[in-house]
Amino acid sequence: MGAQLRLLPPSLPFRFFAAAAVYHVVLWALLALGADEVPGFVGGPGLPLAALHALTLGVLAMTAIGATLQILTVATGQALRALWPCHLVSWLYIPGVGVLLVGLAINDHLVSAAGLLPVLAALGLFGAITADLLRRAKGLRVPILYIWTALAALAGLALLGFLLVADLGHGILAGWGVDRSAIGLAHMILAVYGFMGMLALGYSQILVPMFALAQAPAFPRNLHIHVALAAALILAVVWALVPLEGLSTGGLIVAAGIGLVGAAAHVAQMVTALRTGMRKRLGLSFVLVRVSWGALVASLVAGPLALMGLLGGQGVTLWGAIALLGWLLTFLLGVLQRIIPFLVAMNASKVGGVPPRLSELAPDMPLLYHAACHAAAVVLVLVGLVADQGWPVRIGASIGVCGGLAYLWFAIAVYRRMHGPRPERGAPPPATGGPGVEAGGETSNGKR
C-alpha cells in the first residue's frame, strides 16, 4: 500500500533508537551508583532521580519519538511535511536529556534547567509534528485516540516538570502554598499512565496484530476500553492534586480500580490477537511483551495497596518500579526487538532486491543475554525495595548494565547488517554463537 514510499531515512529513527540503547545502560549505571538511596525514594534530587529520568526521558520517550515518526507515517498513510523538524527534535532532545541527567544527579538547578529547556522545546516540536499527522489521518480511529490522549498528557507532564525543576532552585511551590509531593505524583501519573502508557496501549493495537498476522481489535469494545482508561487517568491526576489527604487517597484508589478494569480488558484483547493470529511463533520478544502485560495489571493493584499502607514503607517506590521497570521498560524492549529488524528489512527491500529474512538481520545471542540480565535486574531491584536494602539493588543494577550492553550490541549489529553484504538466499544465516528462537520469530534454520 505504498508504505515504503513513506519510510524515513534510516538514520533518523535509528539515532533515537541508538540513543535509547545508550541511555538504557546509563539508567542501570545510575541505579547502581545510587543504590543505597533507592529504597524509600519518593522524589528529590540525586542519583535516583537522574536514573528515573534516564528511564523515562532517555529510554521510554526517546524510543517513542523515533517509533512515532516512522510508524505513524506508515500506519496512517500520511507523509511528513518536512524532515528538518524531525532532525531538529533529535539535535535538541538527545543531548538535552544528557545535560538534564547531569544536573539532576549533582543537584544543580542551573544545569538541570540548561538541559530541560531544549528537552521541552523538542517535546513541543515532536507534539506538533505528531498532531499534524493525526489531524490528517483517515483511519485507525481508536489508536489515534490513544495517541491524542498521550499528547495531552505530554503537555501536562511537561508543565509540571518545568515547575518541579524551577522549584529546585527557587522554592516557588512552597511560596504559592502548593504541595511539591502532589505535583510530583501527578507528574509521575501523567508520565507513566498518560504519555508513555497511552502510547504503549495505542501502538499495541497496531503492532501486535501486525506481527501476529491477526485481526485488529473490534471497534466498539476497544473504544470503550480507551474511554475507561482515559477517565481513570483524568481522575487520578485530579485526585493527586487534591490537598485533602483522605479524599485524595480514596479518589486515587477509585481511579486505579477503573484503570485496572480497562487494562485487564486491553490485555485480554491482545492475548486474543496472539491466539488467533496466523503467526504463532513470535520469539523471545513476545515473551517480554507478555510479562509486561502482567506487570501492567500488577502495577494497578500495587498502587492502591501502597496508598492504603499495605506494602509497607516502600509501597510507593515499589509501585513505581513495577510500573516503570516491569511494565513499560520490558514492553518497550520486547517490541523494539521486532521494530528495529522490521524497519531495516523494509529499508533494505526499498532499494531493490529480495528483502532479507529477519534471522539474517537480528542476532539472537545478545537478546538471550539481555533477557536473562533484564529479568534478574528487575527482580533484584524489587527484592531490594521489599527488604529496604540497597545491596540487592546494586547487584541487580550491575546485572542490568550487562543486559543493557547486550541490547546495544544487538542494535548495532542489526544496523551494521543493513549496510553490509547479506548471504545469498538459501545460505545459512550468520553464526550468532547460540541456539534458540531469534528476534525475528524464526529459528536458527530459518523456519517460522
pLDDT in tens, 347-362: 766 555 556 666 566 6
pLDDT at 7: 73
Is pLDDT at 66 greater than 80 in this prediction?
yes
pLDDT at 179: 83
How confident is the model over 174-199, as pLDDT tens digits? 777 778 888 989 999 999 999 999 99
Is pLDDT at 369 greater than 80 in this prediction?
yes
Mean pLDDT of 407-421: 79
How confident is the model over 276-313, as pLDDT tens digits? 988 888 888 899 999 999 999 999 999 999 988 888 88
Please provide the size of the chain in residues: 448
Is pLDDT at 440 greater than 70 in this prediction?
no
CA–CA separation, 411 and 221 (whole Å): 36
Closest CA to 294 of 324, 252, 318, 264: 264
Is pLDDT at 102 greater than 70 in this prediction?
yes
Of 2-16, 89-103, 125-139, 340-354, the one with minimum mean pLDDT is: 340-354
Per the model's pLDDT, the better-predicted residue between 85 and 137 turns out to be: 85
pLDDT at 236: 95
pLDDT at 244: 73
Where exactly are the structural domains of the chain? Answer: 12-139
Mean pLDDT of 5-25: 87
Mean pLDDT of 396-400: 97
pLDDT at 349: 62
- % of the chain beyond a pLDDT of 70: 88
CA–CA separation, 240 and 158 (whole Å): 16
pLDDT at 395: 97
pLDDT at 355: 60
Of 338-342, 419-423, 431-435, the one with minimum mean pLDDT is: 431-435
pLDDT band for position 92 (50/70/90)? Answer: very high
Mean pLDDT of 16-26: 95
